[in-house]
Structure 1
Amino acid sequence: MTATLARTMGTLYRAYRPRILFTYALTLLENLFNLLYPFATGRAIDGLLRGSFLGLALFAGIWLAHSVTGVIRQRFDTRTFTRIYGEVAARVVLGQARQGRPTSQIVARSALAREFVDFFERDVPAVIGALVGFAGSLAMLLGYDRLTGLVCLALLLPVGLVSRRFARRALALHRGLNDELEREVDVLGRPGGGAVREHYRRLATWRVRLSDVEATGWGVLELFLIALAGFVIVRAVRLPGAQPGTIYAVIAYLWTYLDSLAGVPALGQQLARLRDIGQRLHGAVEQRDAEPPHLPGQPPGP
């Protein structure tokens, strides 16, 4: 992540820190509940096989608490990030206009500003979920069987190498795509349809190439995940004295771990995109003297 991108992210975070932190706290709590489901389900299965309903009651309680937390989080974060985007977009437009940018770039970059808000609204919660899923499932797997946990941990090396390689390729492609997007208003203002058709043909080409990079990275990663899944499943059914609920929990935590790793290539590509956008919007979001006007009756401030 470049210094420009980090500075822009830091500016947005500091401006709306209380609301963002509260949203992330709820997101973290939701993911912790998700992490408990396999354990609680396994306890419910083993308990019911012995004629006990305590495990089932635990499972139902976790589910209810998770649902309540999810409702509160969804209602709060929609209000928070919608307001943030309105203020950030206005700040970008005013800041770019003060810098004398052409209209085509202002239009394109006001749309690109949405990427920063999306990063906080979608990508950061996704990272939180991936980290909780990764660390939590790995800890649970180590608790059930140390060898299984160590093998899962060893998979991080190839995952990191694959993700780094494809993120570099994605950065170059995002630069080409965003260059073309910034020319869109100028192209649409020209007479005739040849330039317009060529513009959208180039956009399609950039997006196809980006999709190919993501698909290739995902496919390479899947080969490692398939091998790991085969090992863990065989190992789980051979654990000494393993109960049905224990076997289920081990396999369920395996899927959680694999899901957290499978999202790494897409996250790397999104960070590459934000890196390029951050360079284009350099200074616009940080403008302090270009605050957007507030709606009538709306209190000032975040």
Structure 2
Amino acid sequence: MTIQDIITKYRYRIALLLLFVLIENIAWVIEPTFFGKLLDALIGHFYDHEKVDYLIPLMVWVFVYLLNVLGGSLHRLFSGGTYSKMYADVATKVIGESKSRGDQYSKMLVRAELVKEYITFFKDRLPEALWQLSASAGAIIALFFYDYRIALVCLAVVFPVAYINNLNRKNVTKLQKNLHDNQEELYKLIENRDTTKIQQFFLNMIPPRTSIATWNAFSYSTVKVLLVIIFIVVLFICVDLDKFTTGKIYAIVAYLWTFIGQTDNLPDLMESLGSIRDLNTRFDQNHVGIVNPAN
């Protein structure tokens, strides 16, 4: 069973959960704008109690905040049961396919364990990817309404960030294949009761894990350095702005930190994508092995 098979079978449940995530994300992205307006209204009300009404901005901001809470709550409420059932179904399917090929029990077991990485991808990494996409796009679009120069600076950094993380993904995919090969080898050693090579197995796991950590550190640090440069540039742009209120400055800084903060999970996402890509190739090749004898 490949990732395409899982998406096809569970497309409606996955789509519903991603809809909840999207509601949560959109509300979170637009919240700084409304909080900035509330901040300006409260400051204005402090200086002129009669002319400035802060109740409407307050109610709008509370509504947006509660919308964010609603999306997050619904996603967390339904994700547990959905992904638990998905794991049970997919693991059973993978074991059945492995048994029909006459694989050893050790291989069946390790394949069932590797299925957890599929579930982790759908449960954690896919919502993170959606958040990173919506946060980046939403922050850039919102910044265009405040100052186009800030938005263009953020847009310009997207391309080197994407290149660095794609490079990370390609290298991690190769390393994940080594890890998965070693995992299958461990169960084979245990089934054959060959404990003399157990230590060598764990030693073999060290180089790929170390290399993955190195690539993740390189990706993380490079992206963060790029983003802090962008932040400094934006600060100088903000100083040059005229007629900007406290609320607008708050919104700009909030959107900028949203744009910067969404990169924190990119290394983990690239590692997960590398793992999923190897599993997809691994399981797809095995699926072909089932079909060919029947032909």
TM-score > 0.5 by shorter chain: yes
Partner of 1:23: 17
Matched, 1:240 2:234: no
Letter in 2 for 1:48: L
Where do 5+ consecutive residues of structure 1 fail to align?
Answer: 1-6, 290-302
Distance verdict in 2 for CA 1:42–1:286, change over 3 Å: farther
CA distance in 1 between partners of 2:198 and 2:229 (Å): 47
CA distance in 2 between partners of 1:26 and 1:153 (Å): 27
Letter in 1 for 2:160: P
Partner of 2:172: 170
**Paired residues of 1:123 and 1:267 also in contact (CA < 8 A):** yes
CA displacement, residues 43-76 of structure 1 (integer Å, 9 cap, x when unaligned):
1111100113232222222222222332222111
Which of residues 257, 260, 265 is equivalent to 1:258?
260
CA displacement, residues 101-147 of structure 1 (integer Å, 9 cap, x when unaligned):
22222211111112222222222211111111011100001111001
CA distance in 2 between partners of 1:162 and 1:262 (Å): 14
CA displacement, residues 149-198 of structure 1 (integer Å, 9 cap, x when unaligned):
11111112211221222222212211111111111112234667542222
CA displacement, residues 189-230 of structure 1 (integer Å, 9 cap, x when unaligned):
466754222212222332222112111111111110110011
**Paired residues of 1:91 and 1:285 also in contact (CA < 8 A):** no
CA distance in 2 between partners of 1:190 and 1:138 (Å): 57
- Aligned-pair distance for 1:262? 4.1
Partner of 1:71: 73
SS of the residue 1:100 aligns to: coil
Which of residues 230, 248, 266 is equivalent to 1:228?
230
Which of residues 4, 7, 13 is equivalent to 2:7?
13
- Number of aligned residue pairs: 283
TM-score with structure 1 setting the length: 0.87
Distance verdict in 2 for CA 1:192–1:87, change over 3 Å: closer
CA distance in 2 between partners of 1:30 and 1:288 (Å): 42
CA distance in 1 between partners of 2:77 and 2:286 (Å): 30
Choose 185-194 or 48-57, whichever is displaced more.
185-194
Letter in 2 for 1:126: E
- Aligned-pair distance for 1:286? 9.6
**Paired residues of 2:107 and 2:188 also in contact (CA < 8 A):** no
CA distance in 2 between partners of 1:26 and 1:201 (Å): 43
Partner of 1:205: 207
Letter in 1 for 2:74: I
Matched, 1:133 2:135: yes
Matched, 1:46 2:40: yes
Matched, 1:34 2:28: yes
Distance verdict in 2 for CA 1:146–1:25, change over 3 Å: same
**Paired residues of 1:28 and 1:128 also in contact (CA < 8 A):** yes
CA distance in 2 between partners of 1:91 and 1:189 (Å): 22
Choose 201-210 or 144-153, whichever is displaced more.
201-210
Choose 193-202 or 211-220, whichever is displaced more.
193-202
- Aligned-pair distance for 1:29? 0.5
SS of the residue 2:284 aligns to: coil
Percentage of identical aligned residues? 24
Where do 5+ consecutive residues of structure 2 fail to align?
Answer: 46-52
**Paired residues of 1:91 and 1:287 also in contact (CA < 8 A):** no
CA RMSD of aligned residues (A): 2.3
**Paired residues of 1:89 and 1:110 also in contact (CA < 8 A):** yes
Distance verdict in 2 for CA 1:47–1:13, change over 3 Å: same
CA distance in 1 between partners of 2:61 and 2:205 (Å): 49
Distance verdict in 2 for CA 1:287–1:258, change over 3 Å: farther
Partner of 1:122: 124
Partner of 1:188: 190
TM-score with structure 2 setting the length: 0.89
Letter in 2 for 1:82: S
